[in-house]
């Protein structure tokens, strides 16, 4: 009986070793975005070569998110609104037409003059061109934000995918550990019946079995919660719980940190957005400086003079003299906005460096833990468990010692999965330009003359 129990434990243990992750090839690193002003689809994961029937891959979920996540529609509408503003800002003022009559009824006559007029304001100093250029630059900023939102959505899906895949893997591990614990309790009970184990051994085995069941239930709750968050980012909240196909424990070289940071500072949509706002505010300063240059209003009248019985015409030309109001306050405001926008570029760059340093630290820490578990801790814990189990079969070790070794090995396996999870999350942030929040609304251009009261984290 002890031989059969020992064989079962070893077979189950080997099964656990091969079941750390649900295995297919994972997504490649994200590609850098183009220069602002052009929108391309955010990078998506490649499809695995073979997956279990009915399972979902990361690439499947990314494609669903690109079709259903509502923030992408928001970003597209924001771009269209900015382009419409640019169109409207450059339109010429409409002419005014009307009827003009003078001294109507004087002396019982039809009046001195009756006729029609047309009036047109002539916009000077390229004001319309500058106004349109200003809002076109806002449209460029909106396009950059739309691109950033695509990255946020795709990377948000990736982060939630690794959350759910880790939880799914933990459920599988906990289920196998429960099976082993229940079999251990049953075997110990049989050994007690034949006098080869005592009641404390049985109680300990039953406690381990119940603890394993609670841990399985907790893992299942975590999996359901992570799945709900994943399908919310995807934009399909009714999607039923489905097996995920992915590979948590894939290996590869660490990033070249200096080059990765340099690429981030070139390709980041956040920095491109801040630079686009500087360009907009530079145009705004030029626009406000020409505002005092007066427009010319031209008016032409044609009609009939009933006193002289002749057709007459009149012409008027007028300008508003910029004596008191020379747009001084607005020009100062525009210059202040420009100074703020330039400072904001520096702030965004420093923020990117800080967040990159944080993600890189988490990546290195997780990578060290993963390598340690993979090459040292797990093999040694497995060997210790097997040796104690063998010694127990030969009556050279007590059952509590075997349980302690089994508990340690199980904890190390769970810790290994958690370290893999942390590694994958940090990897998504680093390769995804630090854009991960897939359900936050895309940020619009900063209103001129106003700072964002509560700028949302990116």
Model confidence pLDDT, tens digit, residues 322-375: 999 999 999 999 999 999 999 999 999 999 999 999 999 999 999 999 999 998
Angle at 250 between CA 362 and CA 20, to 5 degrees: 95
Q: Model confidence at 297, in pLDDT bands (50, 70, 90)?
A: very high
Banded pLDDT at 449 (limits 50, 70, 90): low
Helix (H) or strand (E) holding 343: helix 328-372
> CA 177 to CA 16: how far, in whole Å?
8
Calpha distance 393→402 (Å, rounded): 10
Return the half-sphere exposure (C-beta side, CA atoms, 13 A cut-off) of residue 97. 3
pLDDT at 39: 31
Give the residues across from 305 on adjacent strands.
Answer: 113, 310
Using an 8 Å Cβ cutoff, are 174 and 19 in contact?
no
- Evaluate if residue 58 carries a pLDDT over 60: yes
Looking at 198-334, which runs of residues are DSSP E strands? 244-245, 296-305, 310-319
Residues 6+ apart with CB under 8 A from 219: 167, 170, 171, 173, 174
Question: Higher confidence at residue 177 or residue 32?
Answer: 177
Kindly report each contact of residues 387-392 with a partner whose C-beta sits within 8 Å and lies 24 or more positions away, as own/partner.
389/6, 389/9, 389/10, 390/6, 392/2, 392/6
What per-residue confidence (pLDDT) applies to 164? 93
Examine the pLDDT at 20 and tell me if it is beyond 70.
Answer: no
What b-and-e string marks burial along 360-377, b requiring 16 or more CB atoms within 10 Å of the CB? bebbeebbebbeebbeeb
pLDDT over 60 at 11, yes or no: no
pLDDT exceeds cutoff 50 at 140: yes
Q: What is the CA radius of gyration of the chain?
A: 36
Cα–Cα distance, 189 to 268 (Å, whole number): 63
Say what the pLDDT of residue 177 is. 82
The chain-wide mean pLDDT, for the chain, equals 81
Residue pLDDT, tens place only, 73-88: 999 999 999 999 999 9
Q: At what angle do helices 199-234 and 127-193 cross, to 10 degrees?
A: 160
Q: How far is CA 318 from CA 92, 119, 120, 293, 302, in A?
A: 18, 11, 11, 13, 18
Tokens (6 digits) for 45: 């994961």
pLDDT of residue 353: 93
Look at residue 97 and tell me whether its pLDDT is greater than 90. yes
Q: Note the pLDDT tens digit of each residue in 378-414.
A: 999 888 888 888 887 777 877 667 777 877 888 888 8
Over residues 136-147, the mean pLDDT reads 91
What's the rounded Cα separation, in Å, for the pair 183 and 205? Answer: 9
pLDDT value for 178 = 87
Q: Quick one: CA dihedral 382, 411, 9, 393, positive or negative?
A: positive
Check: CB of residue 178 under 8 Å from CB of residue 213. yes
Q: Tell me the mean pLDDT in the region 448-453.
A: 46
Structure tokens at 13: 């243990």
Q: Which ranges of 194-241 does DSSP label H, i.e. alpha helix?
A: 199-234
What pLDDT, on the 0 to 100 scale, is given for residue 186?
84
419-435 exposure pattern, b = at least 16 Cβ within 10 A, e = fewer = bbbbbbbbbbbbbbbbb
Contact 330, 291 (CB under 8 A): yes
Give me the pLDDT at residue 390, please. Answer: 83
Mean pLDDT on 443-450: 61
315 versus 113: the higher-pLDDT residue is 315
pLDDT of residue 52: 58
- Residue 357 is encoded by which pair of tokens? 């340093």
User: What's the pLDDT tens digit per position in 185-231?
Assistant: 887 788 788 877 778 878 888 888 898 899 999 999 999 999 999 99
């Amino acid at each position: 009986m002890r031989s059969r129990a020992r064989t079962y434990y070893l077979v189950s243990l080997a099964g656990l070793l091969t079941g750390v992750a649900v295995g297919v090839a994972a997504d490649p690193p994200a590609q850098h975005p183009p220069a602002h002003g052009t929108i391309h689809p955010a990078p998506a994961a490649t499809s695995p070569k073979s997956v279990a029937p009915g399972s979902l891959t990361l690439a499947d979920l990314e494609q669903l998110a690109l079709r259903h996540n509502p923030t992408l529609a928001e970003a597209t509408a924001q771009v269209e609104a900015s382009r419409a503003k640019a169109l409207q800002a450059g339109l010429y003022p409409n002419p005014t037409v009307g009827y003009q009559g003078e001294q109507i009824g004087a002396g019982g006559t039809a009046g001195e003059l009756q006729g029609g007029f047309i009036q047109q304001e002539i916009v000077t100093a390229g004001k319309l061109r500058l106004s349109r250029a200003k809002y076109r630059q806002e449209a460029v900023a909106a396009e950059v934000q739309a691109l950033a939102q695509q990255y946020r959505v795709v990377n948000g899906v990736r982060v939630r995918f690794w959350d759910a895949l880790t939880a799914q893997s933990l459920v599988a591990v906990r289920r196998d550990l429960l099976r082993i614990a229940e079999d251990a309790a049953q075997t110990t009970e049989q050994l007690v019946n034949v006098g080869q184990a005592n009641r404390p051994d049985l109680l300990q085995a039953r406690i381990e079995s119940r603890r394993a069941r609670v841990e399985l239930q907790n893992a299942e709750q975590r999996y359901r919660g992570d799945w709900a968050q994943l399908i919310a980012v995807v934009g399909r909240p009714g999607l039923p719980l489905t097996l995920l196909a992915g590979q948590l424990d894939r290996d590869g070289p660490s990033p070249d940190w200096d080059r990765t940071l340099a690429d981030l500072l070139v390709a980041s949509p956040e920095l491109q957005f801040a630079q686009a706002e500087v360009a907009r505010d530079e145009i705004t300063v030029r626009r406000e400086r020409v505002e005092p240059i007066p427009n010319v209003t031209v008016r032409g009248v044609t009609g009939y003079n009933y006193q002289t019985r002749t057709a007459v015409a009149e012409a008027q030309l007028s300008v508003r003299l910029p004596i008191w109001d020379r747009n001084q306050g607005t020009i100062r405001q525009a210059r202040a906005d420009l100074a703020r926008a330039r400072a904001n570029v520096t702030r965004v760059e420093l923020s990117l460096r800080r967040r990159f340093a944080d993600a890189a630290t988490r990546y290195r820490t997780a990578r060290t833990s993963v390598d340690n578990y993979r090459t040292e801790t797990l093999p040694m814990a497995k060997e210790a468990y097997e040796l104690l189990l063998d010694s127990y079969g030969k009556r050279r070790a007590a059952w509590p010692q075997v349980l302690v070794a089994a508990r340690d090995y199980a904890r190390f396996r769970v810790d290994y999965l958690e370290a893999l999870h942390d590694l994958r999350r940090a990897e998504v942030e680093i390769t995804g330009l630090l854009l991960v929040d897939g359900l936050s609304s895309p940020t619009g251009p900063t209103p001129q003359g106003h700072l964002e009261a509560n700028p949302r984290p990116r």
